[in-house]
Amino acid sequence: MDQLIHRREENGLIYYTCDTITTPHLFTTKFGGVSTGYLSSLNLGFNRGDERENVLKNYQILADHFGVPRERMTMTKQVHGDCVRVVDENTMGMGLGQPMSWQTDAIVTNLPNVPLCGYYADCVVTLLHDPVSRSIGVCHSGWRGTANGILAKTVHTMQEQYGAQPENIEAVIGPSIHSCCFETDADVPDAMRETMGQAVEPFIERRGAKYFIDLQGINRMRLEDAGVKKVTDSGLCTKCMHDEFWSHRATNGRRGVQAGIIMLEGEQS
């Protein structure tokens, strides 16, 4: 774990924060909610077999932590694509304050008091904050999204929409499966090479017929290529730490969902 990353506990809610992100944010763990069984206890996925009321109560716990109405929390609907959507007054609260009507793995906003939520159980979730333009983003990138450059596209969307400058952006790469555990067949490194060429080779290790991929390193490279230099990697592997985090690979898919959440502070509207 990077020394800038801190494990915190508040009224049973266990989460991680990063010193370099200067706006309210966190990465959730399994702990601090009301779900039961293999979803115990802070499951944030409505499609994991949980009672809907339990999931809503878990979001309420997080809304209380951020000091906002639950209906302002805004969700991605992740499809392992490279779409980035803008959260405005019409789309605020997607998935909680209004029915889910988009498919997107990354969202950005400059609205205050609107927590953006991206979900993980091995995939990489990165939080972005530009304190100068007062804009934020959350980006989910599995290997497909990583190969297609969704994280750089999120940075570019913040530039286009809000005038964010990459050199001002603070980024933290959240808990996710690391190269020690991310074993793949040849299709994954082949997809990386197709879009990134030789630049990706330092992040691919071959062991016999299998490959081990450093998704965090690739996403850091993508950020740096986009001009973002203030990048922190949490250093937390979800599969190694499966007692703390849900890991899709560690559980063969029988698991809940965590979130990386980021919000701009401001007067309530």
Average confidence (pLDDT) over 185-209? 97
Is the pLDDT confidence value at 267 over 80? no
3-state secondary structure of 25: strand
DSSP structure class, residue 27: E
In a domain, 268, yes or no: no
Task: Please check whether residue 129 is in contact with residue 23, taking contact to mean a CB–CB distance below 8 angstroms.
Answer: yes
Note the pLDDT tens digit of each residue in 100-124: 999 999 999 999 999 999 999 999 9
Distance of CA 210 to the CA centre of its chain: 27
Question: Is the omega angle on the peptide bond into residue 41 within 30 degrees of 0, that is, cis?
Answer: yes
pLDDT of residue 42: 99
Is the pLDDT confidence value at 65 over 80? yes
Is the pLDDT confidence value at 20 over 60? yes
In a domain, 267, yes or no: no
pTM metric for this prediction? 0.98
Residue 34 belongs to domain with CATH number: 3.60.140.10
In a domain, 269, yes or no: no
Is the pLDDT confidence value at 83 over 90? yes
In a domain, 248, yes or no: yes
Residue 94 banded pLDDT, cuts 50, 70, 90: very high
pLDDT of residue 268: 52
pLDDT of residue 55: 99
Is the pLDDT confidence value at 231 over 50? yes
Residue 269 banded pLDDT, cuts 50, 70, 90: very low
Share of the chain above pLDDT 90, in %: 98
In a domain, 208, yes or no: yes
Which residue range(s) make up the domain with 197? 5-262
Residue 193: which H helix or E strand, with range? helix 187-196
In a domain, 103, yes or no: yes
Residue 2 banded pLDDT, cuts 50, 70, 90: confident
One-character DSSP codes across 85-148: EE--TTTTTBTTTB-----BSEEEE--BT--EEEEESSSEEEEEEETTTTEEEEEEE-HHHHHT
Is the pLDDT confidence value at 28 over 90? yes
Q: How many domains does the chain have?
A: 1
Note the pLDDT tens digit of each residue in 47-64: 999 999 999 999 999 999
Average confidence (pLDDT) over 130-148? 98
One-character DSSP codes across 40-98: TTT---TTSS--HHHHHHHHHHHHHHHTS-GGG-EE-B--SS--EEE--TTTTTBTTTB
Share of the chain above pLDDT 70, in %: 99
Average confidence (pLDDT) over 64-87? 98
In a domain, 43, yes or no: yes
Question: What's the distance, Cα to Cα, between the start and end of the chain in Å?
Answer: 37
What is the Cα–Cα distance from 7 to 22, expressed in whole angstroms? 17
Residue 1 banded pLDDT, cuts 50, 70, 90: confident
The arrangement of strands across the sheet holding 25-28 comes to 5-10, 13-18, 25-28, 258-262, 116-120, 74-75
3-state secondary structure of 9: strand
Average confidence (pLDDT) over 127-142? 98
Average confidence (pLDDT) over 184-210? 97
